[in-house]
Amino acid sequence: MRVDVFTLFPEVFEPYLNLSILARARQKGLLEVHLHNIRDWATDRHRTVDDEPYGGGGGMVMKPEPIFAAVEDVLGRPPQVPVILLTPQGRPFTQKVAWEMAQWPHFALIAGRYEGIDERVRQHLVTDELSIGDYVLTGGELPALVVIDAVTRLLPGVLGDPEAPHKDSFSAGLLEHPHYTRPAAFRGWRVPEVLLSGHHAEIARWRRQEALRRTWERRPDLLAHARLSDEDRAFLARLEAQRRAAADARPDADAPSPTPPEEA
Protein backbone atom coordinates (compact mmCIF):
# COMPACT_ATOMS: atom_id res chain seq x y z
CA MET A 1 0.00 0.00 0.00
CA ARG A 2 1.25 3.46 -0.85
CA VAL A 3 0.28 6.56 1.15
CA ASP A 4 1.19 10.09 0.07
CA VAL A 5 1.02 12.59 2.93
CA PHE A 6 0.79 16.33 2.32
CA THR A 7 1.77 18.31 5.40
CA LEU A 8 3.65 21.37 6.65
CA PHE A 9 5.53 19.19 9.15
CA PRO A 10 6.87 16.05 7.44
CA GLU A 11 9.49 15.64 10.19
CA VAL A 12 6.73 14.59 12.61
CA PHE A 13 6.19 11.32 10.75
CA GLU A 14 9.52 9.53 10.44
CA PRO A 15 10.15 8.83 14.16
CA TYR A 16 6.82 7.04 14.50
CA LEU A 17 6.92 5.30 11.11
CA ASN A 18 10.40 3.98 11.93
CA LEU A 19 9.23 2.06 14.98
CA SER A 20 8.15 -1.51 15.51
CA ILE A 21 5.37 -2.90 13.31
CA LEU A 22 5.19 0.06 10.93
CA ALA A 23 8.96 -0.02 10.40
CA ARG A 24 8.81 -3.75 9.63
CA ALA A 25 5.87 -3.22 7.25
CA ARG A 26 7.97 -0.66 5.39
CA GLN A 27 11.03 -2.92 5.31
CA LYS A 28 8.92 -5.75 3.88
CA GLY A 29 7.56 -3.38 1.21
CA LEU A 30 3.99 -3.70 2.51
CA LEU A 31 3.78 0.02 3.35
CA GLU A 32 5.30 2.89 1.38
CA VAL A 33 4.86 6.38 2.82
CA HIS A 34 5.80 9.41 0.71
CA LEU A 35 5.99 12.64 2.69
CA HIS A 36 5.51 15.96 0.89
CA ASN A 37 6.02 19.37 2.42
CA ILE A 38 3.26 21.61 1.07
CA ARG A 39 5.58 24.58 1.58
CA ASP A 40 7.77 23.27 -1.26
CA TRP A 41 4.97 24.27 -3.64
CA ALA A 42 4.66 27.86 -2.35
CA THR A 43 5.76 30.24 -5.06
CA ASP A 44 6.73 33.45 -3.27
CA ARG A 45 10.04 34.35 -1.68
CA HIS A 46 8.71 33.73 1.83
CA ARG A 47 7.22 30.35 0.90
CA THR A 48 3.84 31.50 2.19
CA VAL A 49 1.21 28.82 2.73
CA ASP A 50 -1.39 30.74 4.77
CA ASP A 51 -3.26 34.02 4.66
CA GLU A 52 -5.85 36.02 6.56
CA PRO A 53 -9.47 34.89 6.33
CA TYR A 54 -11.80 36.78 4.01
CA GLY A 55 -14.45 38.40 6.18
CA GLY A 56 -12.04 38.97 9.04
CA GLY A 57 -11.76 37.15 12.30
CA GLY A 58 -8.85 35.50 14.08
CA GLY A 59 -6.54 32.79 12.83
CA MET A 60 -4.98 32.09 9.47
CA VAL A 61 -6.26 29.95 6.62
CA MET A 62 -4.20 27.56 4.45
CA LYS A 63 -4.05 28.91 0.91
CA PRO A 64 -5.43 26.72 -1.87
CA GLU A 65 -2.66 27.17 -4.49
CA PRO A 66 0.20 25.29 -2.79
CA ILE A 67 -2.10 22.43 -1.76
CA PHE A 68 -3.57 21.99 -5.27
CA ALA A 69 -0.10 22.29 -6.82
CA ALA A 70 1.44 19.73 -4.45
CA VAL A 71 -1.31 17.15 -4.81
CA GLU A 72 -1.64 17.52 -8.58
CA ASP A 73 2.11 17.48 -9.14
CA VAL A 74 2.49 14.21 -7.24
CA LEU A 75 -0.78 12.48 -8.14
CA GLY A 76 -1.89 13.99 -11.46
CA ARG A 77 -4.69 16.36 -12.39
CA PRO A 78 -7.20 15.24 -11.37
CA PRO A 79 -5.56 12.86 -8.87
CA GLN A 80 -6.20 9.22 -9.72
CA VAL A 81 -6.32 8.01 -6.11
CA PRO A 82 -8.52 8.85 -3.11
CA VAL A 83 -7.43 12.15 -1.54
CA ILE A 84 -8.51 12.42 2.08
CA LEU A 85 -8.55 15.58 4.14
CA LEU A 86 -8.10 15.11 7.88
CA THR A 87 -10.56 17.42 9.62
CA PRO A 88 -12.66 17.36 12.78
CA GLN A 89 -15.60 17.96 10.44
CA GLY A 90 -15.06 14.72 8.49
CA ARG A 91 -16.91 11.44 8.80
CA PRO A 92 -15.75 9.44 11.81
CA PHE A 93 -12.70 7.24 11.21
CA THR A 94 -13.70 3.83 12.59
CA GLN A 95 -12.33 0.29 12.36
CA LYS A 96 -14.85 -0.31 9.54
CA VAL A 97 -13.38 2.60 7.57
CA ALA A 98 -9.88 1.27 8.31
CA TRP A 99 -10.87 -2.11 6.80
CA GLU A 100 -12.22 -0.37 3.68
CA MET A 101 -9.02 1.62 3.27
CA ALA A 102 -6.87 -1.47 3.79
CA GLN A 103 -8.24 -2.70 0.43
CA TRP A 104 -6.91 0.39 -1.37
CA PRO A 105 -3.47 0.08 -2.98
CA HIS A 106 -2.85 3.83 -2.86
CA PHE A 107 -4.34 6.90 -1.19
CA ALA A 108 -3.33 10.39 -0.09
CA LEU A 109 -3.81 12.27 3.16
CA ILE A 110 -3.82 16.05 3.62
CA ALA A 111 -2.96 17.28 7.10
CA GLY A 112 -4.26 20.75 7.87
CA ARG A 113 -2.90 23.42 10.19
CA TYR A 114 -4.01 26.86 11.39
CA GLU A 115 -7.67 27.82 11.73
CA GLY A 116 -8.66 25.94 8.61
CA ILE A 117 -8.12 25.21 4.93
CA ASP A 118 -9.56 27.22 2.05
CA GLU A 119 -12.96 25.69 1.33
CA ARG A 120 -12.10 25.16 -2.37
CA VAL A 121 -9.71 22.37 -1.34
CA ARG A 122 -12.64 20.51 0.20
CA GLN A 123 -14.93 21.27 -2.72
CA HIS A 124 -12.65 20.57 -5.69
CA LEU A 125 -9.67 18.45 -4.62
CA VAL A 126 -10.47 15.99 -1.86
CA THR A 127 -12.59 12.89 -2.31
CA ASP A 128 -13.33 12.28 1.37
CA GLU A 129 -12.88 13.89 4.79
CA LEU A 130 -12.09 11.93 7.96
CA SER A 131 -12.15 12.89 11.62
CA ILE A 132 -10.39 10.85 14.30
CA GLY A 133 -12.75 12.06 17.04
CA ASP A 134 -14.84 14.87 18.42
CA TYR A 135 -12.01 17.09 19.60
CA VAL A 136 -9.77 19.62 17.88
CA LEU A 137 -6.02 19.12 17.52
CA THR A 138 -3.55 21.74 16.37
CA GLY A 139 -2.79 19.88 13.15
CA GLY A 140 -3.63 16.90 10.97
CA GLU A 141 -0.27 15.13 11.45
CA LEU A 142 -1.38 12.97 14.40
CA PRO A 143 -4.69 12.11 12.67
CA ALA A 144 -2.71 11.11 9.54
CA LEU A 145 -0.48 8.85 11.64
CA VAL A 146 -3.55 7.38 13.34
CA VAL A 147 -5.05 6.49 9.96
CA ILE A 148 -1.78 5.04 8.61
CA ASP A 149 -1.25 2.98 11.76
CA ALA A 150 -4.79 1.60 11.97
CA VAL A 151 -4.89 0.71 8.26
CA THR A 152 -1.39 -0.78 8.05
CA ARG A 153 -1.94 -3.34 10.80
CA LEU A 154 -4.84 -4.74 8.76
CA LEU A 155 -2.68 -5.44 5.69
CA PRO A 156 -1.95 -9.13 5.12
CA GLY A 157 1.55 -10.02 6.35
CA VAL A 158 1.97 -7.06 8.70
CA LEU A 159 1.03 -8.77 11.97
CA GLY A 160 2.61 -12.10 12.92
CA ASP A 161 -0.79 -13.71 13.57
CA PRO A 162 -2.97 -13.17 10.48
CA GLU A 163 -6.08 -13.75 12.61
CA ALA A 164 -5.13 -11.05 15.14
CA PRO A 165 -6.87 -8.08 13.48
CA HIS A 166 -10.07 -10.10 13.11
CA LYS A 167 -10.10 -10.74 16.87
CA ASP A 168 -9.44 -7.13 17.85
CA SER A 169 -12.07 -4.85 19.33
CA PHE A 170 -14.62 -3.58 16.77
CA SER A 171 -13.61 -5.96 13.96
CA ALA A 172 -16.07 -8.59 15.16
CA GLY A 173 -18.50 -5.95 16.39
CA LEU A 174 -17.55 -6.38 20.07
CA LEU A 175 -14.85 -5.14 22.41
CA GLU A 176 -12.17 -7.76 22.90
CA HIS A 177 -11.98 -10.02 25.99
CA PRO A 178 -9.47 -9.26 28.81
CA HIS A 179 -5.88 -10.52 28.52
CA TYR A 180 -3.58 -12.01 31.17
CA THR A 181 0.03 -13.20 31.16
CA ARG A 182 2.45 -14.67 33.74
CA PRO A 183 2.64 -14.67 36.73
CA ALA A 184 -0.53 -16.62 37.55
CA ALA A 185 -0.74 -14.73 40.84
CA PHE A 186 0.44 -11.13 41.24
CA ARG A 187 0.01 -9.35 44.60
CA GLY A 188 -2.61 -11.95 45.40
CA TRP A 189 -4.63 -11.25 42.23
CA ARG A 190 -5.10 -14.53 40.41
CA VAL A 191 -5.59 -15.11 36.70
CA PRO A 192 -9.04 -16.69 36.10
CA GLU A 193 -8.65 -20.46 36.59
CA VAL A 194 -10.20 -21.32 33.24
CA LEU A 195 -7.26 -19.69 31.42
CA LEU A 196 -4.84 -22.04 33.22
CA SER A 197 -6.95 -25.13 32.53
CA GLY A 198 -5.64 -25.85 29.01
CA HIS A 199 -9.25 -26.60 28.03
CA HIS A 200 -9.50 -24.81 24.69
CA ALA A 201 -13.28 -24.95 24.28
CA GLU A 202 -13.83 -23.61 27.81
CA ILE A 203 -11.27 -20.85 27.24
CA ALA A 204 -12.97 -19.84 23.96
CA ARG A 205 -16.35 -19.76 25.73
CA TRP A 206 -14.98 -17.65 28.61
CA ARG A 207 -13.39 -15.21 26.16
CA ARG A 208 -16.59 -14.86 24.16
CA GLN A 209 -18.62 -14.24 27.29
CA GLU A 210 -16.13 -11.70 28.66
CA ALA A 211 -16.14 -9.89 25.29
CA LEU A 212 -19.94 -9.78 25.47
CA ARG A 213 -19.93 -8.66 29.11
CA ARG A 214 -17.38 -5.93 28.44
CA THR A 215 -19.26 -4.63 25.40
CA TRP A 216 -22.57 -4.73 27.30
CA GLU A 217 -21.02 -2.77 30.18
CA ARG A 218 -18.99 -0.22 28.22
CA ARG A 219 -20.37 0.06 24.68
CA PRO A 220 -23.90 -1.36 24.58
CA ASP A 221 -24.44 0.61 21.33
CA LEU A 222 -22.15 -1.89 19.56
CA LEU A 223 -24.40 -4.85 20.41
CA ALA A 224 -27.11 -3.64 18.04
CA HIS A 225 -24.83 -4.40 15.04
CA ALA A 226 -22.83 -7.36 16.38
CA ARG A 227 -23.33 -10.87 14.98
CA LEU A 228 -24.76 -12.76 17.97
CA SER A 229 -25.54 -16.47 18.35
CA ASP A 230 -28.49 -17.79 20.37
CA GLU A 231 -26.00 -18.63 23.13
CA ASP A 232 -24.69 -15.03 23.08
CA ARG A 233 -28.22 -13.65 23.34
CA ALA A 234 -29.02 -15.97 26.23
CA PHE A 235 -25.85 -14.82 28.03
CA LEU A 236 -26.76 -11.15 27.51
CA ALA A 237 -30.30 -11.83 28.74
CA ARG A 238 -28.80 -13.34 31.92
CA LEU A 239 -26.67 -10.20 32.41
CA GLU A 240 -29.77 -8.01 32.01
CA ALA A 241 -31.71 -10.15 34.46
CA GLN A 242 -28.86 -9.88 36.98
CA ARG A 243 -28.81 -6.12 36.59
CA ARG A 244 -32.56 -5.88 37.16
CA ALA A 245 -32.35 -8.14 40.20
CA ALA A 246 -29.51 -6.02 41.65
CA ALA A 247 -31.51 -2.81 41.03
CA ASP A 248 -34.62 -4.34 42.65
CA ALA A 249 -32.54 -5.30 45.69
CA ARG A 250 -31.61 -1.61 46.10
CA PRO A 251 -35.01 0.07 45.69
CA ASP A 252 -33.66 3.54 46.57
CA ALA A 253 -30.63 3.35 44.27
CA ASP A 254 -32.22 5.51 41.56
CA ALA A 255 -34.12 7.83 43.92
CA PRO A 256 -32.75 11.37 44.30
CA SER A 257 -30.27 11.58 47.19
CA PRO A 258 -31.65 13.23 50.30
CA THR A 259 -30.85 16.91 50.82
CA PRO A 260 -27.78 17.28 53.04
CA PRO A 261 -28.85 18.55 56.50
CA GLU A 262 -26.83 21.77 56.29
CA GLU A 263 -28.71 22.79 53.11
CA ALA A 264 -32.16 21.76 54.41
d(CA 26, CA 56): 45
Output the smallest distance, CB 118 to ligand SAM, in A.
11
Beta carbon nearer to ligand SAM, 82 or 139: 139
Kindly give, in sequence order, each residue whose CB lies less than 8 Å from that of residue 73, ignoring residues fewer than 6 positions away.
41
Q: Which of 115, 129, 149, 232 is catalytic?
A: 115
DSSP 173: S
**Closer to ligand SAM by Cβ: residue 140 or 165:** 140
C-alpha distances out from residue 221 to 67, 168, 218, Å: 39, 17, 9
Q: CB 113 → ligand SAM: shortest distance, Å?
A: 6
Cβ closer to ligand SAM: 30 or 60? 60
Q: Where does this chain bind ligand SAM (CB under 6 A)?
A: 86-89, 111-113, 115-117, 131-133, 135-140, 143
Active site annotation includes 88: yes
Residues 6+ apart with CB under 8 A from 245: none
Strand partners, 108: 4, 83
- Other beta carbons within 10 Å of 59: 10
Which of 26, 20, 135 has its CA nearest to residue 86?
135
* Shortest spacing between CB 142 and ligand SAM, in angstroms: 8
Catalytic residue among 82, 88, 176, 178: 88
* Coil, strand or helix at 115: coil
- The Cα-based distances of 198 to 154, 164, 184, 225 in angstroms read 29, 20, 14, 32
Cβ contact 17:33 at 8 Å: yes
- What is the nearest approach in angstroms of ligand SAM to the Cβ of residue 7? 9
Told to judge if 122 belongs to the known catalytic residues of this protein, a careful annotator would answer no
Please state the closest distance from residue 89 (CB atom) to ligand SAM, in A: 5
Of 36 and 177, CB closest to ligand SAM: 36
Give yes or no: 115 in active site. Answer: yes
Residue of 168, 176, 210, 232 marked catalytic? 168
210 tagged catalytic: no
Output DSSP code: residue 60. Answer: -
Annotated catalytic residues are 88, 115, 153, 168
